[in-house]
Amino acid sequence: MSLAIGVDVGGTKVAAGLVDEQGRIIAKLKRSTPAASPLLTEQAIADVVTELLAGHEVTAIGLGAAGFVDSARATMLFAPNLAWRDEPLKQRVEERLGRAVVVENDANASAWAEARFGAARGYRDVMLVAVGTGIGAAIIIGGELYRGRWGIAGEPGHVRVVPDGRLCGCGNRGCWEQYASGNALVAEAREFARRTPKGAMRLLQLGGGLPEGISGPEITQAATEGDPAALRCFQTVGGWLGQGLADLAAVLDPACFVIGGGVSEAGELLLEPARTAFERALTGRGHRPFAEITVAQLGENAGIVGAADLAREASQVPVPQVPVPHITVPETTRRPLFRRPLLSRRAL
């Protein structure tokens, strides 16, 4: 049995799993990391991988990271919601581990997992849209991940949907993820609670009395109970989601959209208004079929499973790549590489 390790590298946590060829997770670990420190995140990755490696024969190690990964699948070019800028993630983790890793965009990893083992099985042209803090996405064309010329295709979260709209972490205004993400849902609910506390009584109650106490789970719970304000928040965000899916369908005409990410756990609360908006907005409607809009099946494990499977695949189909240093670079040699102030070894 061939085992691979997949690591889901987020802003505030690292989750890793030992994954078999059928996409099953044999063992799993999680570690919290401060969002602002790539260094601490890299150390946390190395730690969880080392722990999972103990006592197992592992064929490949894959990292799925929330940001723009370059076409060499080595460097985190830019992460709108994290502090990472041109970070040589692959090299840094390989130095620590002493063996090769494959770096992939986290939405690409999740989409791959859904295509191989989840909601997108059997589809050749499919788009995964991960609705979490922001919006991640991945494009599968002809059954293969499409990465674009520079490796960073599938970032519709940063398509402008409102001229001069809300400011985005990417530096632009009016990006889709400012309207259709988990952050947008929470901002909508909190703003409502601030302006109209009487209408938001249930939301405030669940949030411990303060608008700042309201986040995703509270909004989902209130909406499930039928609270009109919470339902309205889902309708607004779901409406923006569906409009954006219609715009993506105009460009990509996929068979299916798989909606993943934390907010997708709200299921039909999000998908029903999204489908309604999609069917209202799709260009050429009435003369073309509607793409399916379905919820992801692998939940929070998708990133781990996909990163592992993509790394396994990469290890089986050798691609020309820069030689990987299979030695641990001594600390003294490594230091000058860092461009940011170094944390003491103790802090690691």
Nearer to a second copy, 231 or 255 (CB): 255
Q: How far is the CB of 199 from a second copy (least distance, A)?
A: 25
Q: How far is the CB of 106 from a second copy (least distance, A)?
A: 15
| The token pair that represents 131 in the structure block | 């609705």
Nearer to a second copy, 5 or 123 (CB): 123
Residue 87 and residue 179: Cα distance in Å, rounded? 28
Kind and range of the H or E run holding 53:
helix 38-53
Q: How far is the CB of 157 from a second copy (least distance, A)?
A: 8
Whether the CB-CB separation of 168 and 150 falls below 8 Å is answered with: no
Nearer to a second copy, 147 or 202 (CB): 147
- Please, which residues bridge with residue 25 across strands? 19
CB under 8 A, 24+ apart: contacts of 334-343: 334/95, 338/39, 340/38, 340/39, 342/39, 343/37, 343/39, 343/40
Binding site for a second copy (CB under 8 A): 68, 77-78, 80, 85-86, 124-125, 137, 139, 141, 146-163, 170-172, 175, 243, 246-248, 250-255, 281, 283-284, 286-289, 291
Q: How far is the CB of 40 from a second copy (least distance, A)?
A: 21
Q: How far is the CB of 234 from a second copy (least distance, A)?
A: 19
Nearer to a second copy, 207 or 242 (CB): 242
Residue 164 and residue 169: Cα distance in Å, rounded? 14
Nearer to a second copy, 150 or 338 (CB): 150
- Find how far residue 183's CA is from the centre of its chain: 14
With DSSP H G I counted as helix, E B as strand and the rest as coil, what are the percentages for the chain, rounded to 5? 40, 20, 40
The residues near 159 (Cβ < 8 Å, ≥ 6 apart) are 175, 176, 244, 247
Residue 50 and residue 97: Cα distance in Å, rounded? 7
Nearer to a second copy, 156 or 211 (CB): 156
Q: How far is the CB of 167 from a second copy (least distance, A)?
A: 13
